Chains A and B, each alone.
Chain A
Amino acid sequence: MLKAMLGEAWLAMGANRLRAALTMLGMVIGVGAVVIMLAIGQGAQYAVQQTISTMGSNLFIILSGSLTAGGVRSGAGGGPTLTVGDANAIDELDGVANAAATHQGGRQLVYGSQNWSTQVIGTTPAYLGARAWNVVNGAAFGDSDVRSATRVALIGKTVAENLFGSEDPVGKTMRIQQSPFVVVGVLGPKGQNLDGRDQDDTVIIPLSTAQRQVFGTPFLGSVRMIMVQAESAEGMERTMADVTALLRQRHRLREGMPDDFFIRNLSAAAESEAETTRTMSILLGAIASISLLVGGIGIMNIMLVSVTERTREIGIRMAIGARQADILMQFLLEAIMLSFAGCLLGLVLGLGIALGINAVTGMVVVISGSAALVAFAVAATVGIFFGWYPARKAARLDPIEALRYQ
């Protein structure tokens, strides 16, 4: 029975293709907007999760130099104001899990006849802790390597693949800036970060070695950046305040003098980026609701026209034994079919646009089966809600009046 009715609904829709297509338009746009909204919204959520899980949680960084009101950085004397001593002192603070001074820059690596340009990070073992980064092959260097400035290196997966190919890099010697470095370990894969940069394209070496052999810093013991990991998300604000106080004291900054460093909450930065996309998806949600409303009214309108046009048909059906419920079901199915067809086109449109957004802006979009499910649920709801009144009107027709209708 239901199958027969579906077939008839399909026929009825096919009988007036252009009209059906125009009626669907509102649904197409509405569902399309729903799909894009979900793709972007879930994408933002995914990106934040991804960032936090690969970047490490509860992180903030301290940068040398101060930020004046105008946004111009004016470090005292131009050199870095932070020191390795600052990093060690921060590490001792309550609420701090890890504090690692870092110095990084782009350098060329050479191994045999291969070479590869990558980012070299000079830091301490605490850095690996802060970023929850483990060594999958070989072993990390220790504090003693930092103290004695040994030439050892941990390499990311991308570097390992490009420089060593299928060889096992551990124990091999490569060159950074003419200096030979022994690869002691390969880092676990992290994938892309929020900006789309490959985090596995990196080399980590002891800070002291980096400063002496690779970057040639004039002020040994000074660093441009310290990465700090708080013990908990709740303790983040407090820890940042404590660090600020500690650094002001260590740098002998008097009351009223501006900070000679700048603190940036990385986790919050990721959150605020997500917030922007969330605002965008709310906007899309508004467009979606309005289009669905307009689309639904369109369906209701066309179904009312259809009921009037087919009054005689309804009379005939009743005369041969259709119950009110049968007529109701028939027109409801037609409305739902219209809205489902619109929904299907909307899904395709939405997916296309979401993929387009991803291709053009690089914004992370997540396309999930649940989005399709939501879209179909919405379509069914719209179809039933707006199809109900016309269908009920059809079902309540008087058989004799309907048969007499010309």
Chain B
Amino acid sequence: MTEPVIRVAGLGKSYATAAGLFTALKGVNLEVREGEYIAIMGPSGSGKSTFMNLLGCLDTPTCGEYWLAGENVAHLDNDSLARLRNRTLGFVFQGFNLLSRVSLQDNVALPLVYAGVDKEARRARARLLLDKVGLGRYAESLPNRISGGQQQRVAIARALVNAPHLILADEPTGNLDSHTSEEIMRLFNELNGEGITVILVTHEPDIAAHAKRQVRFLDGEIVSDHLTEHAPC
């Protein structure tokens, strides 16, 4: 058996609020193997984003263990977390989160800047990824010149630029219409077909149906975890 990409044991997160301690995540256990395609579902406030932020090394858990590609993340310092965010995983947001002042190409190349890659290699790699998501011809445009769906493709290209082990996407189609959503999902399917591990959060059963495995959250806990049953056509 190979080492899982992600292993989470008893992962919990609490917030101190005016009303007292609020536990958003209550000891979650999960294993994700290389090449898996997972959809996380659940009602609003069930802790999906909290969980994704922990997986994305953007936040630190209150308790529990998290191994990412064999490394125990829960005890890493800021710089090591930044390195993981830079090299090991790619994060895709609901709101795209491109830098509005720089060109699409520079947006895609930005993670490479922090990886210390030189300028020529950055350019070449960013072009390659923009071509891959079908937006090579907009390389020099600013983000506000292209549509939401296209912006999300650029964001995916950016997430992929450092050849990460896995892609984490928190409601990547949340701001998009159903047609554009399908396009984005086809891109994720394609990436997963190439062997990249994909974990995404969605409220749409149609979107979740693209994934091979579905995990359901409720009140900060995983309540179901099963393979997608494909309706016979």
Contact = CB atoms under 8 A, between A and B. Distances in A.
A313 interface: yes
B97 interface: yes
15 contacts: A3-B119, A8-B102, A11-B102, A312-B97, A316-B98, A318-B82, A319-B58, A319-B85, A320-B85, A321-B83, A321-B115, A322-B86, A323-B114, A324-B78, A403-B58
B86 A320 contact: yes
Interface in B94-126: 97-99, 101-102, 110-111, 113-116, 119
B111 to A, nearest CB: 4
B158 A320 contact: yes
Contacts, number: 67
Interface residues of A, number: 25
A323 B82 contact: yes
A15 B113 CA distance: 21
A399 interface: yes
A318 B78 CA distance: 10
Given A319-B58, A320-B110, A403 B97 contact: yes
Nearest to B50: A400
Interface of A: 1, 3-5, 8, 11-12, 15, 312-313, 315-326, 399-400, 403
Contact of A322 (B82, B91, B119, B159): B82
B59 interface: yes
Contacts of B83: 321, 323
A325 B83 CA distance: 12
Contacts of B110: 317, 320
A320 B111 contact: yes
B98 to A, nearest CB: 8
Interface of B: 53, 56, 58-59, 78-79, 82-83, 85-87, 91, 93, 97-99, 101-102, 110-111, 113-116, 119, 158-159, 162
Given A320-B110, A321-B82, A323-B114, A400 B58 contact: yes
B178 to A, nearest CB: 26
Given A3-B119, A320-B91, A321-B87, A400 B53 contact: yes
B91 A319 contact: yes
Given A3-B119, A11-B101, A321 B58 contact: no
A384 to B, nearest CB: 22
Q: Which 7 pairs show the lowest CB-CB distances between chains A and B? A: A321-B86, A323-B82, A321-B114, A320-B111, A321-B85, A399-B58, A316-B97
Contacts of A399: 58-59
A315 B101 CA distance: 15
A1 B101 CA distance: 18
Contacts of B111: 320-321
Given A1-B116, A316-B97, A319-B97, A324 B58 contact: no
A15 B85 contact: no
A374 B164 CA distance: 48
Contacts of B97: 312, 315-316, 319, 403
Given A317-B110, A399-B58, A400-B53, A324 B91 contact: no
Nearest to B49: A400
A238 to B, nearest CB: 72
Contacts of B115: 321
A172 to B, nearest CB: 73
